[in-house]
Structure 1
Amino acid sequence: MRAFFLSLFLLVLPTQVLACGPETSCGVPEGYYLAAVPEGWDGKTPLGLVVYFHGWNSSPEATFRNKAMINGVTSRNALFVAPFAERGYWRQIGEGRAEPGRDEAAFINAVLEDVRRRWLVDEERTLASGFSRGASTVWNVACYLGNEFRGYAPIAGGFWRSNPEACPTGPVNLRHIHGLKDGVVAYDEIGIYNSMPITEGFDILSHLNGVSAESRPVESNDARLACERWDKSRSGRVLELCLHEGGHSIPGEWVGHGLDWLDTLPDAS
């Protein structure tokens, strides 16, 4: 009887009160995520949101050991969310491209619904980021769930196995970072694990966005990056490509830099 009343009590508690965060997983159908809230958050001010998709065979727990990455997001008044990939492996999504196993689109939607139920989210500062296979997931989400985030910031990963014939949710804001010496996910050719050239992905998004002019160089807040931007488009959306001379890597601060980029986007985007 006591257990029954305890369960009933938990059901009527505000969801935000329930234990869930960087050390206690937030459960959703077919998985979970970990989350970090900015220190000193008042519980009322809307938070930016970064959902970070980890690389192959990594995990939310391993991601949370990267303090530079977490602090780089929470110090910018944003919630950091790291979802779990089954067996460390994110599957492709999209009609004709979805792989066997968990429906990643449904899982990601469940994570986002749960996050918005637990925390106040500033919808103008929502960003999907990820590394390697996680970055491939970011490209997939941008293509097939493009209305879920205001911006996308993949790092060292693009479309996998094949390029989509179309992106049904329309134009997006996307900033991609890639190493010219990346030996795992090649920049301008098919990679050793059948990753598609990043250049082809940009061709798809350029057409989708209705890019109407050549790119222009832009400054980056990291001297290692050489960035160019396409911000003249019929859709008003912005594409940015940042290259570096390194390989398959992700300095932790680059995820937080994605929020800085997001804050530079035109209000209409």
Structure 2
Amino acid sequence: MRARLLLALGLAFTGETALAVCGDQDGVCKTDAGAYQIELPATDNPPLVVFMHGYGGTGTGTLKNRAMVDPLLNRGYAVMAPEGSERNGRQSWNFFPGWDGRDEAAFLTEAVQDAAKRFDVDPGRVVLSGFSAGAFMVYYLACAAPENFSAYAPVSGGFWRPHPETCEGPVRLFHTHGWTDNVVPLEGRILGGGRFHQGDIFAGLEIWRVANECVDTKPSGFSTTGQFMRRNWMGCAESSALEFALFPGGHTVPKGWADMMVDWYEGLPGS
């Protein structure tokens, strides 16, 4: 019934999913602070994955990654692809504290609220995710206000130096990274002739363990899922979750990530 209603309101269906049409530009939904695209599953009141593109990317480019988008839709999740703000002539995210530009936390909150009104997505079940610069944004939003979204799932991105001294908690975060990533190496790298320095991923995990009040630095468990080598930390603050998945590839959203992330999210209490 819901799918037929949305079709009548102007959705273009492909199989059992729909790319929403908002206003005068097909596929683009505009809010006061920005724009997003969204694809919907054939279910009522679905949970939502908000996935932020990397530096120079677009929402259209995000949705072209069908190896990521289709598994999420098939699992009953709506997929939102927000548009970054302009930085140095390209779309990115205003993630670093103190930079001038759009209030990204306000924009993303506005976009989720807009999607809840237009398309009946569940604003209480939202996973904030992103790749590269989008993952940088995930890290800083999770650090400042972990309660804004129900979970965080960055891919191939973390903090920049200087690392935050502290983060708010508890947070539910699942970080995925490539062993051979040379764009955002695990140890970080220097950019802009020394003006910027990407942070160390393992130092970031330490910050999350502190925020989550974990009793030990040692991982609580290890597992493998296909190509992914995983470790998690338990014995931490109530309602917290922290997991790290390493895969053998480079700077990419790896195949298999979507299902693995959803399995993790749906295994969390209250999800």
TM range (shorter): 0.7 to 0.9
Q: Which residue of 1 aligns with 2:173?
A: 174
Q: Does 1:92 align with 2:88?
A: no
Distance in 2, matches of 1:24 and 1:132, equals: 24
Please state how far the C-alpha of 1:198 moved relative to its aligned partner. 0.8
Please state how far the C-alpha of 1:123 moved relative to its aligned partner. 5.3
Matched-pair identity in %: 33
Q: Which residue of 2 aligns with 1:144?
A: 144
Query: Higher RCO, 1 or 2 (CA under 8 Å, sep at least 6)?
Result: 1
8 Å CA contact retained: 2:221, 2:233? no
Q: Which residue of 2 aligns with 1:219?
A: 223
Task: Look up the SS of the partner of 2:35 in the other structure.
Answer: strand
Q: Which residue of 2 aligns with 1:77?
A: 76
8 Å CA contact retained: 1:151, 1:174? yes
Per the normalisation by structure 1, the TM-score is 0.83
Instruction: Please give the residue correspondences for 1:183-202 in structure 2 after superposition, counting only pairs within 5 Å.
Output: 183-187=182-186, 189-193=187-191, 194-202=197-205
8 Å CA contact retained: 1:218, 1:228? yes
Structure 1 unmatched ranges of 5 or more:
1-13
1:107-128 per-position Cα deviation (integer Å, ceiling 9, x unaligned): 1121122122223334564211
Do the aligned partners of residues 263 and 246 (structure 1) sit closer, same or farther apart at CA in structure 2, a change above 3 Å counting?
same
User: Which structure's residues are more often strand, by fraction?
Assistant: 2
Instruction: Please give the root-mean-square deviation of Cα atoms over the aligned residues, in Å.
Output: 2.3
8 Å CA contact retained: 2:10, 2:20? no
Instruction: Please give the residue correspondences for 1:33-182 in structure 2 after superposition, counting only pairs within 5 Å.
Output: 33-38=36-41, 40-41=42-43, 45-86=44-85, 87-92=90-95, 97-122=97-122, 125-168=125-168, 170-182=169-181
8 Å CA contact retained: 1:66, 1:252? no
Q: Which runs of 4+ in 1 moved over 4 A?
A: 16-20
Q: Which residue of 2 aligns with 1:11?
A: none
8 Å CA contact retained: 2:113, 2:123? no
Structure 2 unmatched ranges of 5 or more:
1-5, 12-18, 192-196
Do the aligned partners of residues 125 and 257 (structure 1) sit closer, same or farther apart at CA in structure 2, a change above 3 Å counting?
farther
Task: Look up the SS of the partner of 2:188 in the other structure.
Answer: coil
Distance in 2, matches of 1:33 and 1:252, equals: 24
Paired letter, 1:138: V
1:221-251 per-position Cα deviation (integer Å, ceiling 9, x unaligned): 3x21110010211334110011122221212
Q: Which residue of 2 aligns with 1:6?
A: none
Per the normalisation by structure 2, the TM-score is 0.82
Q: Which residue of 2 aligns with 1:243?
A: 246
Please state how far the C-alpha of 1:17 moved relative to its aligned partner. 4.2
Please state how far the C-alpha of 1:151 moved relative to its aligned partner. 1.1
Distance in 1, matches of 2:224 and 2:58, equals: 29
Q: State how many pairs are aligned.
A: 244
Do the aligned partners of residues 29 and 252 (structure 1) sit closer, same or farther apart at CA in structure 2, a change above 3 Å counting?
farther
Paired letter, 2:131: F
Distance in 1, matches of 2:198 and 2:105, equals: 20
Task: Look up the SS of the partner of 1:101 in the other structure.
Answer: coil
